[in-house]
Amino acid sequence: MTIKQALISVSDKTGVLEFAQGLAAQGVKLLSTGGTAKMLRDSGLTVTEIGDYTGFPEMLDGRVKTLHPKVHGGILARRDLPEHLATIEAHGIPTIDLVCVNLYPFAATIAKAGVTLEDAIENIDIGGPAMVRSSAKNYAGVAIVTDPEDYAPLLAELKANAGALQLATRFGLAKKAFTHTARYDSMIANWLTGLEEGAEAKPAEAAPVPAIFPARLQLAFDRVETLRYGENSHQSAAFYRETNPVAGSIAAYSQLQGKELSYNNIADSDAAWECVKSFDAPACVIVKHANPCGVAVDGKLLGAYEKAFQTDSTSAFGGIIAFNGEVGIDIVNAMNERKHFVEVLIAPSFTAEAKAALASKTNLRVLVVPISRVLNTLEFKRVGGGLLVQTPDDFTAQASGLKIVTKVQPTAQQIEDLLFAERVAKFVKSNAIVFCGNGMTLGVGAGQMSRVDSTKIASIKAQHAGLDLAGSVVASDAFFPFRDGVDVLAAAGAKAVIQPGGSMRDEEVIAAADEHGLAMVFTGARHFRH
């Protein structure tokens, strides 16, 4: 289909001049509106203003300009139906073959501090979505362009095909266009249904603040890839990315090498990455089945890796390793020396030497993820027929906020280790018990139905690894409901405990700690990770 006439009306003018110039060079007639028309005309292009084209001026402060039969007739007429073509010819309506439209900046408007309801409403586009949807519906005869990234490839195709665009191209543009308007409307719905009752009746200068959880939640994700299968081979799966993923999230990965990522690879990589990026000091996190099996900090990444591996070398085999700094050849050599097989290796960067050494491991998935500690605005968990939505767990205990509840006072070193242990426990499946010392995990007990059992498992893990728990510290993700958990960890050799507190039996638990000569501190916040 040859492009003879185009309508260009954009809010975001990025690249549109070059696009219009390219269309004009192909002999395409240009229609435009308002500021877009002025910009194109000032640049020397011949442009017909939409009001001159329709014979009806823009009105109502620009609210009505493209909502006209001469515009929509030229877009919607089916080129394969002679009666349609005869009708528009009888009314003097030429066809419009390409429509380039992006919408009023609603997202940018509501992102401004102090935005009023009036300003938000005025930045809801009407004519734009109407043209986009009309064009997309009639993709057989119209190319609809909503994304500036499409300008260059479209011009290239026009040049290569004597001014024509293929059906596949037009259909692809239509799909993108319907997605564009759907997400635009979803954004509006989320914002408006998040406003409190009576927001419309408040003074015009009032700046409404939408609730965190709108009454009608609309979500938008883009499929990155279809995966070989899900958690199990009889399940189908795909990975979707948010339209604007938070900086430094696992969704921002780039893969340097290795096999394609599996469902479990991505889930475990997320667990490892979220944990490792929470540390300021050089850190290494090894994850197996979504649980950290080794976490450590050190002056150098190599030291952190050596310490993390010690915690549970058995589970570390076939796991996910994440670093919060640049991986060098020293780490690769250390992994090779102990023949440490891993599924995924993650870091914000790798040295050239490290990349070269890793290249021979063709199956090893190597991911680069930029470091950023921004959290998702909302977290989701699917349940039957619904969705659980919550704000992220953004609490991390600080020394100044700890409440010492025992007779024995923790030492400065114990405080440092307790804070490290609490940070690790945040990323272990609940009923978490984590033994730590000297900036490393010594034993991790995850996800048992009984906290006592988690404590026993953590102790057993340490024994198997040949790590001494004498003098260690312990973190619990939630309070101890009974003293038995304290009895077990004390018997294992722990000397200090960090926990949220808040149990009806806190006094009993504190008394047990005093009885064993333990130091115990409360954080006031739990870290359930079901």
Q: Which residues are catalytic?
A: 137, 289
What CA–CA distance (Å, rounded) separates 110 from 124?
11
Owner of token pair 């070059």: 18
Which DSSP helix (H) or strand (E) runs through 170? helix 167-192
What CA–CA distance (Å, rounded) separates 469 from 466?
10
DSSP one-letter string for 315-365:
HHTTEEEEESS-B-HHHHHHHHHTT--EEEEEES-B-HHHHHHHTT-TT-E
Q: Which two tokens stand for residue 72?
A: 């929509």
Q: How far is CA 141 from CA 80, 182, 471, in A?
A: 9, 22, 76
Q: Which two tokens stand for residue 402?
A: 């700890």
Which parts of 193-284 fold into alpha helices (H)?
Answer: 263-276
Q: Are 492 and 468 in contact (CB under 8 A)?
A: no
What CA–CA distance (Å, rounded) separates 240 from 43?
41
With 0-12 CB in 10 A as exposed, 13-18 as middle and 19+ as buried, what is 217? middle
Which DSSP helix (H) or strand (E) runs through 44? none
Q: Is 476 left (phi over 0), alpha (psi -120 to 50) or beta?
A: beta
What CA–CA distance (Å, rounded) separates 5 from 12?
21
Q: How far is CA 359 from CA 156, 322, 343, 473, in A?
A: 36, 18, 14, 40
Q: Are 415 and 408 in contact (CB under 8 A)?
A: no
Which residues neighbour 62 within 8 Å (Cβ) at sequence distance 6 or greater? 34
Which DSSP helix (H) or strand (E) runs through 144? strand 143-145
What CA–CA distance (Å, rounded) separates 350 from 329?
9
Owner of token pair 């009974």: 482
DSSP one-letter string for 145-156:
E--GGGHHHHHH
What CA–CA distance (Å, rounded) separates 520 from 515?
12
Which DSSP helix (H) or strand (E) runs through 120? helix 117-122
DSSP one-letter string for 400-427:
GG-EE-SSSPPPHHHHHHHHHHHHHHTT
DSSP one-letter string for 33-82:
-HHHHHHHHHTT---EEHHHHHTS--BTTTTBSS-SHHHHHHHHS-TT-H
Which DSSP helix (H) or strand (E) runs through 56? none
Q: Which two tokens stand for residue 122?
A: 């005025």
